Structure 1
Amino acid sequence: MGTLIGHVGPGFGFLIIGLWQLFNHIKLYCQHPKSYRPPIWFPAPRVRHLELYLIMMGGWTSILMELFIGPSRHQPLDPTDWTIPSNHLHNFEHATISFTIFAYAAFALHFDRVRLRAGGTLSFLLGALAFAVELLLSYLHSTDHAGVEWQYHWLLQIAIAVSLITTVMGIPFPRSFAVGFVRSVSVVFQGVWFNVLGIMLYTPRFIPKGCSLETDDGRFVVPCKGHLSLHRAKALVNLEFSWTLIAVVAFSMWFYLYLAKKYPELAEYECLAEKVDQEDGIWKSPKIEEENPDSFADVGKWLKPKDLER
C-alpha cells in the first residue's frame, strides 16, 4: 500500500461506504426520530445487500492487488523456499486487513439471509474486529514508518480508533444517533485521509521543502534533510489533518441540515393492542374491565339486538 494507488484505492472505498452510511443514518433519524434503531449496514432500494456486496468486492480486489498483482513477480512468496520475503510482509498485512473486512461482509450477508436472531449483534462484533485488526496492523506495521510517513500513519490510527470505539458502542446503545453519526463520519474521514495521504506523500510536487521522494527496497520513502526540515514537515501534516477534519465535520453538518429539510419527520402511529400503565410501568392489554359497570363498552352487553336497531 506504499504507493499513490495503494492509498487512493482503499480511501475511495472507505469514502463511498462512509457517505452511504452517513446518508442513511441521517435520513432514518430525520424520518423516524422516535423509533430510530439503525442496522450496521443499510440496504439499497433495489438491491438489498448492495453495501455488503461492494465491501466484499472491494476487499477481494484489495487482496488480489496486494498478493498477486502488486508484486513484481505477481506472487508474494519466495519461489525458492515458498516463504514470505521481508519486502512482502507489508503486502500480507494489508491483505489481512482486507480479508477481515471481506469476512465481516460475508458473514453479515449470511446472517441476514438465515434471519439469525443475534445476527445484528454479531455483525457489529465482526465490524469491530475488522477495525481492530486495521488498527493493530497499522500500529505494529512491519514497515518502519519514520518521519513524515510516521506522522501521516499515526494520525490515521486516530480515525480508525474512533471507528472501532463507535462500532463497539453500537451494541449497548443501538438507538443512539450520535454513535451512528460519529461512526459514519469517522469512516468518511478515513477515506478522505487515505486520499490525502496518498496524494501528498507520494506526489513529488507536494513533498515538503527539505524532503524528497526516494525508493528503498522496492517501496517509496520520504526522508528529510535535518531536524528542522523534518519538524516543519510534521507540522504541515498536523495542519493538513486539522484542516481535513474541519472540512469533513463541516460537510457532515451541512449534509445533516440538507437531509433534514429533504426528509421531514413521518407520522408514527402507536399500536393500540398494548398500553403502558403509567403508575407501575407494566404493559397491559387494553381490555375493558368487567368490574366497571359504567363502561360504555359494557352497555352493549345488556342491550338486545332489537334495542340496538332503534
Structure 2
Amino acid sequence: MASLETHFLATLFFAPIGIRRFLCSSSLFLKNPSLFKSKPWYFSNPKWKNLDLYILAVALPLASFAEIFIFSSLSGHSTYRFSFFQQFSSLSLFWVLIVFFVIYDNLDHSLFNETFVFAYAGMAFLVEYSFSGVGVTGLGTVVYELLAHLSLLCAGCCLVLSVKRTAFFAEFFLSFGLVFKGTWLLQAGLCLYTDAFVPTGCKKLELLPRSPDADVHCELEEDGLRGMALVNLLFALHAILITVSSCVIFGVLSSSKKQRCAETSGSLLDQVESDSLLMRPVHEIEME
C-alpha cells in the first residue's frame, strides 16, 4: 500500500465482497437458521455473476508483479526490501485462496474441503496481521495497527468457521471485518497520502525520492497525541456506522420475503432440507 490510489483499489475489493457476503449469509440464515452453514464463497447462478471473484483472480497476480517491480527499484534499501517482500507474500497467499474458489468444484473434497479452505483463509489473514505496518513510522503506525486488528478479527472468524460452520456470529463478524477493512483502508489513504486530511500540526513526508511512499510526522508531542486521538475517533466512527448499517440491512432482509441471494434457494438448499427431513424421527413427521 504505497499511495491513495492503491488504498482506494483495495477498498473497491474488500468492501463489496464483505457486503455481498453479509447479504448472502444473512439471507441463508434467515431462510432457515437451523440449517445455516457458512460457505467459503457464495457463488451466484449463473457463474458469470461472480465478477468480483474473477477480477481478484486476475488483479492479485498483477499486484504481486507490481510489488516485485517496486522491490527491484528499491533494492538498495534493506528496510523496504523486507517490507515489500512481506506484502508480496501476503498477496500470494490470498491469490492461492482465490484459485481455490475458482477450481473448488474440480478438487478432491476429501482433502480440500470447506474446513480446509476456512483454515487456510485464517492462516492468510494471520500472515497479513503479522506483516501489517512493518517499516511504518509516525502516525502511520497507529493507522496500520488498527488495520492489523481487523485482519486478526477476520483470521479468528475464519478459524472458528473451520471448526463450526454453523456459527453465524463468526460469519457476521467476518463480513463486518471485510467491510471495515475496506473503509479503513480508504481512511488510511486519506490520512497518510493527502494533504487535506493530515491532522493539524503534522505534515506528510516523502520517504524516498523515487517512491510514492509517505508518512505523517508530528513535530510536537502534543500534536502527535492529538493526531492519534483523531485516528482512534475515526476508527470508532467507522465501527459505529458499519454496525448500525449492518443491523438496518439485517432488519430489512428479515422483513422481506424475496430471495436476496442465489444460494438461498435451489438444488443445494433443497438437498440439505431433504437430508434433514430424512434424519428426523418418523413420529415427528407424522405429527406435522
Cα deviation 1:174-221 (Å, max 9, x = unaligned): 112111111111111011100111112211011111100121223212
Matched with 2:262 is none
Give yes or no for the alignment of 1:239 onto 2:233: yes
Pair 1:171 & 2:162 matched: yes
- Separation in structure 2 between the aligned mates of residue 270 and residue 84 of structure 1, nearest angstrom: 61
Alignment-derived partner of residue 77 in structure 1: 72
Residues 41 and 51 of structure 1 are in contact (CA less than 8 Å); yes or no, is this contact kept in structure 2?
Answer: no
Q: How does 1:28-177 map to 2 (within 5 A)?
A: 28-47=28-47, 50=51, 52-68=53-69, 71=70, 76-77=71-72, 86-114=79-107, 116-118=109-111, 119-138=113-132, 141=134, 143=135, 145-177=136-168
The offset of 1:126, in angstroms, is 1.5
The answer for the alignment partner of 2:223 in structure 1 is: 229
Q: Distance in 2 between matches of 1:39 and 1:200?
A: 35
Deviation at 1:6, TM superposition (A): 2.3
Distance in 2, matches of 1:206 and 1:51, equals: 30
Distance (Å, rounded) in 2 between the aligned partners of 1:78 and 1:187: 31
Q: Structure 1 residue 45: deviation in Å?
A: 2.0
Query: Residue 35 of structure 2 aligns to a residue in which SS?
Result: coil
Contact kept, 8 Å, 1:63 with 1:95, in 2: the verdict is yes
Alignment of 1:193 onto 2:184: yes
Q: Which amino acid in the other structure matches residue 65 of structure 1?
A: A
Paired residue type of 2:105: D
Alpha-carbon shift at residue 84 of structure 1 (Å): 7.7
**TM-score normalized with structure 2 length:** 0.84
Task: Using the TM superposition, give the Cα deviation of residue 115 of structure 1 relative to its aligned residue in structure 2, in angstroms.
Answer: 5.0
Q: 1:44 to 1:277 in 2, by over 3 A?
A: closer
Equivalent of 1:202 in 188, 193, 206: 193
Cα drift, residue 83 of structure 1:
8.0
Structure 1, residues 212-237: CA drift from partner, whole Å, max 9, x if none?
Answer: 01212232121101100000000000
* SS class of match (1:213): strand
Q: Distance in 1 between matches of 2:258 and 2:33?
A: 10
The question of 1:7 aligning with 2:7 is answered yes
User: How many residues end up aligned between the 2 structures?
Assistant: 270
Q: Which residue type is aligned with residue 262 of structure 1?
A: S
Q: Does the 8 Å CA contact 1:14/1:190 hold for their aligned counterparts?
A: yes
Q: Deviations over 1:242-264 (max 9, x none)?
A: 00110111111111111222246
Distance 2:84 2:257 in 1: 44
Q: Which consecutive residues of structure 2, in runs of 5 or more, have no partner in the other structure?
A: 260-264
**Structure 2 counterpart SS, 1:174:** coil
- Superposition deviation, residue 40 in structure 1: 1.2
What is the CA distance between 1:10 and its match in structure 2?
1.5
Distance 2:51 2:138 in 1: 40
Superposed CA RMSD in Å reads 2.9
* In structure 1, C-alpha distance between the alignment counterparts of 2:124 and 2:5, rounded to whole Å: 22
State the Cα distance separating 1:129 from its structure 2 match. Answer: 1.6
Whole-Å separation in 2 of the counterparts to 1:239 and 1:16: 24
Report % sequence identity: 21
Q: Is the 8 A contact 1:13 1:58 kept in 2?
A: no
2:192 and 2:214 in contact (8 A); partners too? no
Partners of 1:243 and 1:209 lie apart in 2 by 19
Deviation at 1:62, TM superposition (A): 1.8
Larger helix proportion of the pair:
2
Code of the aligned partner of 2:206: T
- In structure 2, how many angstroms separate the alpha carbons of the residues matched to 1:156 and 1:78? 27
The answer to whether the 8 Å contact 1:31/1:263 transfers is no
- 2:18 aligns to what? 18
Amino acid at match of 1:168: L
Aligned twin of 1:276:
281
